Amino acid sequence: MLDAPPAASASAEGTAWTRKDLLDTDTLTRAEIDLILETARAMREVRSRPVSKVSTLRGTTVATLFYEQSTRTRASFEVAAKALGADVVNLTASGSSVEKGETLIDTVRTLEAIGTDVIVMRHHRSGAPHLAARHTSAAIINGGDGTHAHPTQALLDLFTMTGRLGSLEGRKVIIVGDILHSRVARSNAWTLLKYGADVTFCGPATLLPRHFVPAVDGRRCAVTTDLDAAIEDADVVMALRMQKERQQRGLIPSLREYIARYQVNAARLRKAKPGALLMHPGPMNEGIELSPEVAHGAQSLIEEQVANGVAVRMALLYLIAARSRT
Amino acid sequence: MTDRILVRGGRVIDPARGVDGVLDVLVESGYVADIRSRIDAAGARVIDAAGCVVAPGFVDLHAHLREPGFEQKGTIATETEAALRGGFTTICAMPNTRPAPDCGPVLESIADRFRRDGRVRILPIGCITRGREGRELAELAELAAGGVIAFSDDGSPVADPRLMRNALALAGALGLPLSEHCDSPEMHTGGAMNEGAVSERLGLSGQPAAAEAAAIARNIELAAAAGARLHIAHVTTARGVELIAEAKQRGLPITCEVTPSHLFLTEDAVAGGGPEPAYDTNAKINPPLRTEADRRALLAALDDGIIDAIATDHAPHAIEDKLLEFEDAAFGISCFESAASSLLTLAARGELRLERMVQALTSAPAACFGIDRRIPGAGRLEPGVSRDLVILDPAAEVTVDPARWASKGKNTPLAGQRLRGAVRAVIFDGTLAWEREGAHV
């Protein structure tokens, strides 16, 4: 095994990682995000080697603590941690003390007591990682909290977009779907605005924010219910997962009507810029938010997003664990 | 010695009797004995109240004592000691206990505990419906005979409009008001805070202002149809205030209250002042803290009398009820021991007139529930009749330190905040019952 990835942490104009936790993208500086992306590029290089593992985090224990189901985020973090040589403990709410009524604070303190350095957590309640972070000296990485934030998804999306497009300055990014309840949309908006993109939130009126949209340096997300107009000349189209229970709760008349107005299909994608990038954070409801032809078409980056997720999570684990060791 | 107390040279504000001036107050043999510009009382203990405000003991229309049933959150003894320190000498206890006072025998056993353990006067509020479940009416006449001062299902709004109208009519015939938490829960899914910019940023479920306004409008119409009195508990929205103002213009017998928390804080307290959102569960209260525009509307409505009274909604919780994910944490702020300081801070900032503040804490709430008829002298300073008074020091610089509170509930978003003004001393039943020491509340 090689001992270390090509060091990136000293570059990005000398920015050093100083945060204990990663809770959201909203307070990250441009320099900190640059550092993450630069480190992720080095990690992608590690992943491309014949032996795609290093021992940088040997002796570091990473716990994944998932109160909500997940395939890609949990697996992605586990692969990332192991690729850096860390030990990994996986916990889910079912089958653990959580079922016996243990509180979140007691659970994270227990993990800390057994020597966990980094806790990757997903929780159905917004703000749960913020609560955990205040009550443990272990680092907390937010793997998605309620309807609030999903910073590692936003960072891997940014990594994917900059990898394809270079600069995002003035690029037009459309995020379509259930914006109001989407932690992915909000965290993406913060990073994209910081990188100079023009961001538009698009969806049915009942699933759009009414009082708040992210804004950076006076530039704020646009909000529209008209996908056909919004998608024109888009550089990136990101579709979000549509929860089927939104129909039962009366937020949309039917999935049929949602598909008619908001599904990204070939006809709609043709209105975007030629070769526009199509993204989806997964898991996808094929045939609802994306038509199968575009989901698996040439413009789809869905699998690339997943692959990049490992590199970005390696970068975050590397930066955060290195800080906690010093 | 404590039998004879001379409170010297304070600004005496007694809105009920139109008194506002620098006067001496003599307390003797358990009663306010004399109020004049200069009293010589040889042998009396003298409290120099120069620079202070001397007011009647505060009257609170809305408090949670937690006993019986939730003694880990608070007991009658701890919470009434907290009330005393906050200047509240007559308090109305909400019925969300276990068991709830929805029939004579339960009420009687709770009232016995009040008499035994209460450090201040406690008036019970009876349930509107059995078990506060909103299905069948409680036996209102039996509760009235047992001494309740009003009826309420507390945090469980009566959803069924026919039941509500009947309750209003029956309570009205008994000469008692119905105090209603105005919310339309069907309009939101268990909203944990105000629906608005902060809830959308933090990804939290919200209660729209419309849910309060719609319930206020409905209940005003039902009260008008029943020809009965209605007291609207803790109004929080600008639109709610407009609806109440219109009802009062129509001459309807509607009264309402506002909490110190809603006058002093906004939804921003949930996010906190730091770069990362705090998700401060100590700022989680029902109805929720609203916007700055709402807060200003509440202050204006209090100033011009649309809002009658300030009531604490004192809601102590155990630490474990609040050290949780925001949406899983309990609603409520422990308020008795910080209420006067937050209100005096508003007065110091010029957002609330001191005289109006005193009125809204004394004579106005006493009138809302007819408390002055039940307890002679409550909410005013009437020589030979009144027994309680509060001395306030508007210039005191204090830090909120809930660790020192008498209340079991340390749940306040004000912990560590510097406030201007504090209760200095409290005379209850003609005895000096509490004096503040140190620069904290």
In tens, the pLDDT along A182-239 reads 999 999 999 999 999 999 999 999 999 999 999 999 999 999 999 999 999 999 999 9
Contacts of B92 (CB under 8 A, 6+ apart): B60, B61, B62, B63, B122, B123, B124, B125, B149, B150, B369, B371
The amino acid at B332: G
User: Measured between alpha carbons, how far apart are the two ends of chain A, in Å?
Assistant: 23
pTM: 0.95
Task: Identify whether residues A117 and A260 lie together within a single domain.
Answer: no
Go through the domains of chain B in sequence order and give each one's CATH number.
4-53+385-435 (2.30.40.10), 57-374 (3.20.20.140)
Task: Identify whether residues A94 and A167 lie together within a single domain.
Answer: no
Task: Identify whether residues A79 and A52 lie together within a single domain.
Answer: yes
- Put simply, the answer to whether A212 touches B200 (Cβ < 8 Å) is yes
B chain contacts of residue A123, beta-carbon cutoff 8 Å: 325
Q: Chain B, 263-302: which have a CB under 8 Å from a chain A CB?
A: 275-279
A chain contacts of residue B204, beta-carbon cutoff 8 Å: 126-127, 146-148
Burial of B50 (0-12, 13-18, 19+ CB in 10 A): exposed
Q: Can you tell me whether residue A321 is helix, strand or coil?
A: helix
What Å distances lie between residue B314 and A176, B62, B63, B372, CA to CA?
A: 44, 7, 5, 22
Task: Identify whether residues A11 and A110 lie together within a single domain.
Answer: yes
Q: Is A82 part of a structural domain of the chain?
A: yes
| Mean pLDDT, each 10-residue run in order, chain A (326 residues) | 47 77 97 97 93 92 94 94 96 81 94 97 97 97 97 98 98 97 97 98 97 96 98 98 83 94 98 98 94 97 96 97 73
**What does the pLDDT read at residue A248?**
75
**What does the pLDDT read at residue A2?**
43
Q: Residues in chain A, how many? A: 326
Q: Is A135 part of a structural domain of the chain?
A: yes
CA distance B308 to B254: 10
Is A207 touching B (CB cutoff 8 A)?
no
Number of independent structural domains in chain A: 2
**Cβ(B54)–Cβ(B357) below 8 Å:** no
Task: Identify whether residues A40 and A168 lie together within a single domain.
Answer: no
- Put simply, the answer to whether B324 touches A127 (Cβ < 8 Å) is no
Is A48 touching B (CB cutoff 8 A)?
no
Residues of chain B with pLDDT under 50: 1
CA distance B378 to B177: 18
Contacts of A15 (CB under 8 A, 6+ apart): A29, A31, A32, A34, A35
Q: Is A15 part of a structural domain of the chain?
A: yes
- How many other CB atoms are there within 10 angstroms of residue B435's CB atom? 12
**Closest among B322, B61, B342, B334 to B192, alpha carbons compared:** B322
Q: Could you give phi then psi for residue B302, rounded to 5 degrees?
A: -65, -40
Residue of A nearest to B189 (CA): A249
CA distance B149 to B177: 8
- Put simply, the answer to whether A210 touches B198 (Cβ < 8 Å) is no
Catalytic residues of B: 313
Rg (CA), chain A: 19
Report the gap between the CA of B202 and the closest CA in chain A (Å).
6
Task: Identify whether residues A141 and A60 lie together within a single domain.
Answer: yes
DSSP label of B333: B
Buried b / exposed e along B62-88 (16+ C-beta atoms within 10 A):
bbbbbbbebeebbbbbbbbbbbbbbbb
Task: Identify whether residues A201 and A236 lie together within a single domain.
Answer: yes
CA distance B247 to B241: 10
Domain CATH for A230: 3.40.50.1370
B331 annotated among ligand-binding-site residues: yes
- Put simply, the answer to whether B323 touches A103 (Cβ < 8 Å) is yes
Q: Can you tell me whether residue B269 is helix, strand or coil?
A: helix
Per-state percent for chain B, helix, strand, coil, to nearest 5: 35, 25, 40
Nearest to A125 among B199, B323, B328 (CB): B328
Farthest-apart Cα atoms in chain B, separation: 65
Reported as a single tens digit per residue, the pLDDT across B368-378 is: 999 999 999 99
Task: Identify whether residues A236 and A164 lie together within a single domain.
Answer: yes
- Mutate one of A21, A107, A125 to test the B interface: name it (highest B CB count within 10 A): A125
What Å distances lie between residue A117 and A19, A66, A82, CA to CA?
A: 14, 16, 14
Residue B4 bridge partners (DSSP): B28
| Chain centroid to CA A320 | 17
Q: Is A162 part of a structural domain of the chain?
A: yes
**What does the pLDDT read at residue A181?**
94
What Å distances lie between residue A67 and A126, A320, A326, B249, CA to CA?
A: 12, 22, 30, 53
CA distance A320 to A21: 7
Task: Identify whether residues A142 and A233 lie together within a single domain.
Answer: no
**What does the pLDDT read at residue B441?**
94
**What does the pLDDT read at residue A8?**
46
**Cβ(B346)–Cβ(B299) below 8 Å:** yes
Task: Identify whether residues A12 and A107 lie together within a single domain.
Answer: yes
Q: Is A1 part of a structural domain of the chain?
A: no
Is A128 touching B (CB cutoff 8 A)?
yes
Residue range(s) defining the domain that contains residue A227:
151-302
In B118-275, which residue ranges form alpha helices assigned H by DSSP? 140-145, 161-173, 197-202, 209-226, 238-249, 260-264, 268-271
- Inter-axis angle of helices A183-194 and A30-47, nearest 10: 110
Nearest to A126 among B189, B202, B324 (CB): B202
ipTM: 0.93
Task: Identify whether residues A166 and A203 lie together within a single domain.
Answer: yes
Task: Identify whether residues A204 and A225 lie together within a single domain.
Answer: yes
DSSP label of A80: H
- Put simply, the answer to whether B200 touches A24 (Cβ < 8 Å) is no
Q: Which helix (H) or strand (E) holds A189?
A: helix A183-194
Nearest to A127 among B195, B320, B325 (CB): B325
Reported as a single tens digit per residue, the pLDDT across B262-319 is: 999 999 999 999 999 999 999 999 999 999 999 999 999 999 999 999 999 999 999 9
